[in-house]
Structure 1
Amino acid sequence: MQLIIEWVTNIIIFILFAMIIDLLLPATNFQKYVKMVIGLILILLMLSPLLQLFSIDVDRLLATIHMEGSNQQETMKNEFEMKKKEIQASQRAYILEQMAVQMKKQVAEELMKDYGLMVQNISFQTNEKEQLKIPDDIKTIEVTLSEQNEQEIVHPVVIDASKPLNQSSHDEARKKEIASFFAAKWGVNEEKIAVQIEGRE
């Protein structure tokens, strides 16, 4: 509403100003050129709301385009990083899975023969790096073992009361021995290997 009032006021003021100039100018050929100029200015005044409506702030437009471009670029960069991490995680999981299969095959026969145990699961804890280096980036290898499934002959158990039972120490010594066996077979530090025997935790 304020815009319309200002627009009408400007037109009225300009018409009054044009009338005063017309009265002051002498009747010569020059007067018709003055009237033409005044008429053009009046037309521009009347069209000024439309010109303002369609006028474009170039700086603001460029700033908006630049901002939208930057936001789109940032979004694309974030999406690319997420996809990259997903692919790397998939590759890492696949490599570790295949490595676990190979490691299991490598020790299966001898483990069964010497200890009567089978590998149920091998899991890894690794450093979070883009490029996984084996075995340097492996922090821990957790190996879960189970007893042989075949039924074994049960021998009578003779308990000597004079000797204290220390099953826990025996189990720990056995786990350490098995960890040493794995370390030799896999070429990794024994301290990185954690052995668990199902039913013996």
Structure 2
Amino acid sequence: MNLIAEWVMQIIVFILIGTIMELLIPNNSMKKYVHIVIGLLLLLILAKPILYLFSVDVTTELKKIEQTIFQDQHALTESKNLLENQKREIQAEQDAYIWNEVKTQLMNEANPVLSEQYSAQIVHISFDLRDEELDKDDNLEKIIVTLTNENELNDQSVIKPIIIETEQERKSHEENNQIRSIRKKLEQIWEFDKDQIEIIWEGGAT
């Protein structure tokens, strides 16, 4: 912008000087040559921007412009990536908080019933999700419930007697029946499909 202003100022000043010289030079044969010289000088001044372009290394200037654009794009990309990472972190914290609240609510609804009818307690709940989005109704693939027997919680220090094979089989059969009953009860309490509920006894899986 400064170069353009300087160029226009030079044209104005030269025209003023040329006008004054034309007025001062007497009207003779020399005046024609003065006109030619003034015209050539004015032409050079008017052509100064073109001469300036030829004097500049166009390739270097284009590389500078390209580098500036690339740096701006790189900075914009980094800012965008940082914003996306922060957004994902906030979303992950919100998801974790929501699922923790859901887990607490489910345990509070089920534990009193399980304690009264089965002498069992839910000690942990985990969720198997189809994806990480919370806004889908079919997002929950499976709810994994870890149970423990209240008697075992109260009698952890008691040494358990050795059980022979037939008693182990009977106990396993009783536990399977109890698990099916608990699964059905949880299905009623939570209004989940029974296929979505997986029960694990603490110390073993079913």
Which of the five TM-score ranges fits, normalised by the shorter chain? 0.5 to 0.7
How many pairs does the alignment contain?
Answer: 170
Maintained 8 Å contact 1:144/1:197: yes
1:44-123 matches, within 5 Å, as 57-123=60-126
Q: Does 1:189 find its partner at 2:196?
A: no
Maintained 8 Å contact 2:129/2:141: yes
Aligned match of 1:167: 171
Aligned-residue offset at 1:54: 9.8
Mean Cα displacement is larger for which, 97-106 or 84-93? 84-93
Cα 1:164–1:116, aligned 2, differ >3 Å: closer, same or farther? Answer: closer
- Among 105, 124, 127, the residue aligned to 1:124: 127
Larger fraction in helix: 2
Q: Any unmatched runs of 5+ in structure 2?
A: 1-54, 156-163
User: What is the distance in 2 between the residues matched to 1:93 and 1:172?
Assistant: 32
Maintained 8 Å contact 2:133/2:139: no
Maintained 8 Å contact 2:147/2:202: yes
Q: Deviations over 1:8-39 (max 9, x none)?
A: xxxxxxxxxxxxxxxxxxxxxxxxxxxxxxxx
Aligned-residue offset at 1:59: 1.7
Letter in 2 for 1:119: I
Aligned-residue offset at 1:130: 3.5
Aligned-residue offset at 1:170: 2.8
Q: Any unmatched runs of 5+ in structure 1?
A: 1-51, 152-158
Mean Cα displacement is larger for which, 186-195 or 166-175? 166-175
Aligned match of 1:140: 142
Cα 1:150–1:176, aligned 2, differ >3 Å: closer, same or farther? Answer: same
TM-score norm. by structure 2 comes to 0.61
Q: Deviations over 1:45-86 (max 9, x none)?
A: xxxxxxx89999332222111111111122122112211111
Q: Pairwise CA RMSD of aligned residues? A: 4.4
Aligned-residue offset at 1:165: 3.5
Aligned-residue offset at 1:118: 0.9
Aligned match of 2:202: 198
The residue matched to 1:143 in structure 2 has which SS?
Answer: strand
User: What is the distance in 1 between the residues matched to 2:168 and 2:190?
Assistant: 36
Aligned-residue offset at 1:164: 9.5
User: What is the distance in 2 between the residues matched to 1:176 and 1:58?
Assistant: 78
Aligned match of 1:10: none
The residue matched to 1:57 in structure 2 has which SS?
Answer: helix
Q: Deviations over 1:129-176 (max 9, x none)?
A: 444445x2111111111111345xxxxxxx9x7x99443333223222
Identical aligned residues as a percent:
23
